[in-house]
Structure formats: structure tokens, C-alpha cells
């Protein structure tokens, strides 16, 4: 649930900006059809793409932080390399699409939407791995804890 709320608020500049553009424009009385007609403004010049790539910053941060954990270092390095490689390849593709002389918004739209979902999938995977690596998520055997505490107490009692 927390992830859905964060996702909704973090993408609010995209859908709220389009909603504001649709509400300001008085050429059409129907807000929904005006909203749909304003939606291409999100991707025509790469705005959705740049917003999506920004989602890779926390992925890279989590991967660098997890790299220090011996158990998760392989996953962290893989996630880091995948994120950087994806960012470079998609940047080249979007730049080629935007600089194309017979530019049409459809290729930019499909590429931007793909990049958007892949970036947020990588973010979700990074958060999942980070949660698995956190000490709070590790299962603790209560019997071992009680036995250890009992032994510690007994040894301190004997040492008195």
C-alpha cells in the first residue's frame, strides 16, 4: 500500500499537470476528452522519458548501498549495471527519435512508456531486495535468543 501511495504522489506532476492544462483550456467542455487530447504534451519532447529516468537514481543508490552487504553484493552489482546500461541505451534511442527529421510522436510515446514502466519495475525490484537485506526483515529464532540470553545471564551471575 505504501508503494502505491508513493507511486501516485511521485507521478503527480505528470497526471496533475495534464489535468491542469485540460482544465485551463476552455475550447472543449468535456474535461475527460480535453485531458486525453492534452496527454501527448507529456511525451512529445521527452518529458515523460526524463521523468522516468530520474526514477533510476534511487535504484542506483540502493544498489551502491547493498554492494557492501556480502550476501547481496552480486544482486546489487547486477542491478547497478542493468540500470546504467538501460539508461544509456534508452537515452540514445530517445535522442535518435527526437532528432529524427521525420519526427512523429508515436515512436517517442511507445519508447517513453516502455522506459517509464521498466524504470519503475527496476525501482520496485531494488526496494524489494533492500527490504530483504534489512536486518529488520531477518527471521529470528526465539529459542536461540532465549538460550543465548540465559547463558549470558548465567555467566555474568557466576562471574560475580
pLDDT at residue number 57 = 82
Quick one: average pLDDT of 29-33?
71
Mean pLDDT, the chain, integer:
75
Express each pLDDT in 79-127 by its tens digit. 888 888 888 887 777 777 767 655 566 677 777 778 888 888 888 888 8
Give the Cα separation of 84 and 64 in Å (integer): 12
pLDDT at residue number 151 = 78
Q: Are 123 and 58 in contact (CB under 8 A)?
A: yes
Q: Of 43-47, 89-93, 149-153, which range is least confident?
A: 43-47
User: Using CA atoms in the order 139, 145, 148, 154, what is the torsion angle rounded to 10 degrees?
Assistant: 170
What percent of the chain has pLDDT above 90?
Answer: 0
Q: Which residues contact 28 (CB under 8 A, 6 or more apart)?
A: 34, 37
pLDDT at residue number 43 = 64
Residue 19 pLDDT greater than 80, yes or no? no
Among 9-13, 21-25, 27-31, 129-133, the range of highest mean pLDDT: 129-133
| pTM of this structure | 0.59
Residue 44 pLDDT greater than 80, yes or no? no
Amino acid at each position: 500500500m505504501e508503494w502505491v501511495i508513493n507511486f501516485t504522489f511521485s507521478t503527480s506532476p505528470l497526471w496533475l499537470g495534464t489535468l491542469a492544462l485540460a482544465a485551463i483550456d476552455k475550447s472543449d467542455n468535456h474535461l475527460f476528452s480535453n485531458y486525453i487530447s492534452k496527454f501527448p504534451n507529456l511525451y512529445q519532447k521527452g518529458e515523460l522519458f526524463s521523468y522516468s529516468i530520474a526514477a533510476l537514481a534511487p535504484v542506483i543508490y540502493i544498489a551502491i548501498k547493498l554492494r557492501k552487504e556480502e550476501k547481496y553484493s552480486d544482486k546489487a552489482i547486477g542491478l547497478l549495471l542493468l540500470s546504467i546500461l538501460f539508461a544509456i541505451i534508452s537515452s540514445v534511442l530517445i535522442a535518435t527519435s527526437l532528432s529524427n527529421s521525420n519526427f512523429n510522436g508515436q515512436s517517442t510515446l511507445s519508447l517513453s512508456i516502455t522506459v517509464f514502466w521498466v524504470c519503475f519495475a527496476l525501482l520496485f525490484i531494488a526496494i524489494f531486495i533492500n527490504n530483504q537485506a534489512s536486518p529488520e526483515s531477518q527471521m529470528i529464532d526465539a529459542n536461540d535468543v532465549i538460550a543465548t540470553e540465559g547463558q549470558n545471564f548465567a555467566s555474568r551471575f557466576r562471574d560475580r
